[in-house]
Amino acid sequence: HPERSFIMIKPDGVQRQLIGEIISRFERRGYKLVAAKLMTPSVQLAKQHYAEHDGKPFFEPLVKFLTSGPVFAMVWEGKDIVATGRKMIGKTKPLDSEPGTIRGDFGIDVGRNLIHGSDSVDSANREIKLWFHAEDLNSWKPVT
Ligand code: CMP
């Protein structure tokens, strides 16, 4: 299958009712949704997801925030989805997140930054496995 990325709307994005807006951006760009679920992550899952940040000063608050309410976890598929997805999301630092990006259009807070996107194809594969069962990934092609 073509490249896939794990894209997750964080609790602030769900609470601000940006799920539809965000899905729309990926759909209009031409990417395909292959899996999605609304769920409240466990502390264990959040810690595994953010394992690379373990030990950083923002790690505990980050895990607390991610587990505070439902997130909308998704897998998107298509050409260069990992890198393009990161561009569409925008930079972590609010001052660097350009208008036109999701963070640049909707956020000003480094912690409450609405959305996560895998930073490499390897991270994407790891994160997709962590959040989804293989049988819940739906590959599809338009009927011709
Ligand atoms: P993300 O880029 O998805 O992954 C790491 C997350 O840590 C980041 O989004 C932020 O939501 C969060 N975070 C909180 N505080 C900081 C900080 N000071 N620097 C970087 N990331 C932070």
Size of the chain, expressed as the number of residues it contains = 144
CA dist., res. 123 & res. 117, Å (int): 9
User: For residue 142, what pLDDT is reported?
Assistant: 81
CB of 62 shorter than 6 A to ligand 1: yes
Instruction: Provide Rg for the chain, Cα atoms.
Output: 15
CA dist., res. 56 & res. 47, Å (int): 12
Neighbours of 129 (CB within 10 A): 11
3-state secondary structure at position 42: coil
| Tokens linked to 66 | 């991610």
* Residue ranges, the chain, pLDDT below 70: none
**Interface predicted TM-score (ipTM) of this complex, two decimals:** 0.89
| Tokens linked to 58 | 């923002």
CB of 58 shorter than 6 A to ligand 1: yes
User: For residue 18, what pLDDT is reported?
Assistant: 98
- 113, 115, 123, 126: residue to mutate for ligand 1 pocket, most atoms within 8 A of CB: 113
Say whether 1 is catalytic: no
Contact assessment for residue 22 and residue 115, using Cβ atoms and an 8 Å cutoff: yes
* Catalytic, out of 1, 49, 116, 133: 116
3-state secondary structure at position 12: helix
Return the axis-axis angle of helices 81-89 and 19-29, rounded to nearest 10°. 130
Q: How far away, in angstroms, is 42 Cα from ligand 1 center? A: 19
User: For residue 93, what pLDDT is reported?
Assistant: 95
3-12 tens-digit pLDDT: 999 999 999 9
Helix (H) or strand (E) holding 35: strand 32-39
User: For residue 144, what pLDDT is reported?
Assistant: 83
User: For residue 141, what pLDDT is reported?
Assistant: 87
